[in-house]
């Protein structure tokens, strides 16, 4: 197994609940404009992780896979004096985008990723399908299915904001 870069963190999850809790810790760190790109095989824990992200971010909404609608939008009660709905978490699933690689990228761009990032947090499942349509700086999470219960998550920070986020996440997961 290759040695991870200093901008990466490997986490082993031994249950769906543990995967969700790791997502919760990440969700507590997210702010408008943040991008989390998820990759990995079908059934590797991406949607479970997003459930944790949404809960840690503060949403009370039920999280479901947006496979058939492409994007789900979750809200959270604002601590500031903002009306409900001004704080959003966009959950985009690129799995069902169809056509050639170029057509898939065009479809992703047409979804107005830039607006989603200026008005909220964007979490993308199957991000490897639309990487060229996404900003270059992001937090990437690659899921590997080890067995029925165990998942290997490799979290990589690309950009200064995300390097700090990774440091904070490492602390939240492992402590001092």
| Pairing of the two strands 120-125 and 138-145 | unpaired
CA 123 remoteness from chain centre: 4
Domain presence at residue 1: no
Structure tokens at 100: 């050639």
Percent of residues, the chain, with pLDDT higher than 90 = 63
Domain presence at residue 154: yes
pLDDT band at 78 (very low <50, low <70, confident <90, very high): low
Domain presence at residue 3: no
Domain presence at residue 2: no
Number of domain units in the chain: 1
The widest CA-to-CA distance across the chain, in whole angstroms, is: 49
Residue 121: predicted pLDDT: 97
What is the gyration radius of the CA atoms in the chain, in angstroms? 15
Closest CA to 63 of 76, 44, 47, 40: 47
Domain presence at residue 131: yes
Q: What is the CATH number of the domain that holds 133?
A: 3.40.50.300
Domain presence at residue 51: yes
pLDDT band at 6 (very low <50, low <70, confident <90, very high): confident
Q: Residue 51: which domain range? A: 8-174
* 122 CB-near residues (< 8 Å, 6+ apart): 34, 35, 36, 90, 92, 113, 116
- Residue indicated by tokens 């709905």: 85
Domain presence at residue 104: yes
Residue 79: predicted pLDDT: 59
Domain presence at residue 105: yes
Residue 23: predicted pLDDT: 97
């Amino acid at each position: 197994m290759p040695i991870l870069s200093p901008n990466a963190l490997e986490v082993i999850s031994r249950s769906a609940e543990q995967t969700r809790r790791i997502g919760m810790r990440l969700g507590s760190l997210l702010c408008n404009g943040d991008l989390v790109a998820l990759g990995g095989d079908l059934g590797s824990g991406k949607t479970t992780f997003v459930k944790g992200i949404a809960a840690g971010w503060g949403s009370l909404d039920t999280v479901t896979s947006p496979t058939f609608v492409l994007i789900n939008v979750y809200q959270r009660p604002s601590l500031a004096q903002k009306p409900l709905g001004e704080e959003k978490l966009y959950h985009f699933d690129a799995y069902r985008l169809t056509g050639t690689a170029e057509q898939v990228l065009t479809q992703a761009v047409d979804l107005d990723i830039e607006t989603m990032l200026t008005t909220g947090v964007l979490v993308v499942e199957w991000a490897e399908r639309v990487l060229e349509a996404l900003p270059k700086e992001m937090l990437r999470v690659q899921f590997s299915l080890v067995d029925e219960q165990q998942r290997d998550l490799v979290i990589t920070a690309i950009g200064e904001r995300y390097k700090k986020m990774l440091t904070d996440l490492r602390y939240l997961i492992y402590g001092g």
